[in-house]
Structure 1
Amino acid sequence: MSIVINKNFDDNKDVWNIDVHGEIDIYTANELKESLIESISSRPKDIILDASNLEYIDSTGLGVLIGILKRLKIDEKDIYINNAKQNVKKLFNITGLDKIFKVEG
């Protein structure tokens, strides 16, 4: 499976809007990691990840998000996971990651 990552910075809200389409797994996680690191290196701001088109995420993908969150926490920033499908939301709940990420919608 492939992944499409659309990102833009919202100057009004001072946040990164990241829209992910497809699957985040061992094959695509590095692409997401590079994209997010590039974004927060230039502007370490909150990330709003729109997961409405995210079909699947595995432990590799979760690891990428945890690593990015650790970098953001240095600047007291967060990652918000919005509009996640039930299977993705369930994974965050089962792993307890819904307690460290802001899972909304």
Structure 2
Amino acid sequence: MDFKVDSKVEEDSLILSLFGELDVYSTPKFKEEVKSAYEENKLNIILDCKNLEYMDSTGLGSLIYLLKIVNEDNKKISIKNLSKQILKLFKITKLDEIFEIMVD
């Protein structure tokens, strides 16, 4: 599956739904699309990873890139619907302490 980002505004949040694989190949597209969406709507971000199949260290780096941008505006990033494998990656790298991981 090709990587894709859908964005929409709900209440006071920018919802970014991720589809496919966030890896070394898709990271440039991710950075460009999410930065553009955020510039249009400088709101707190919720990353919906329900349809995210895979993430590598480059993908994690792109989330940190996004975090730096939103932190400049005193906004935050929350992440929901992480698969067990990707959540494990967040825990190993201790990024679960930096990002708010939403659990249903």
Q: Deviations over 1:1-47 (max 9, x none)?
A: 5212111112xx21111111110000001111111110111222111
Q: Could you tell me how far apart the structure 1 residues matched to 2:34 and 2:19 are?
A: 15
2 CA distance for matches of 1:102 and 1:31? 23
Output the CA distance in 2 between the equivalents of 1:29 and 1:2: 12
Q: Secondary structure at 1:8's aligned position in 2?
A: strand
Q: What's the secondary structure of 2:16's corresponding residue?
A: strand
CA distance in 2, matches of 1:97, 1:73: 15
Q: CA RMSD in A?
A: 1.0
Q: 1:12-51 to 2 correspondence within 5 Å?
A: 13-51=11-49
Stretches of 4+ aligned residues off by more than 4 angstroms: none
TM-score scaled by length of structure 2: 0.93
For 1:1-105, what aligned pairs fall within 5 Å after superposition?
1-10=1-10, 13-105=11-103
What 5-or-longer segments of structure 1 have no aligned partner? none
Structure 2: stretches of 5+ with no match in the other structure: none
| Structure 1 stretch displaced more, 1-10 or 75-84 | 1-10
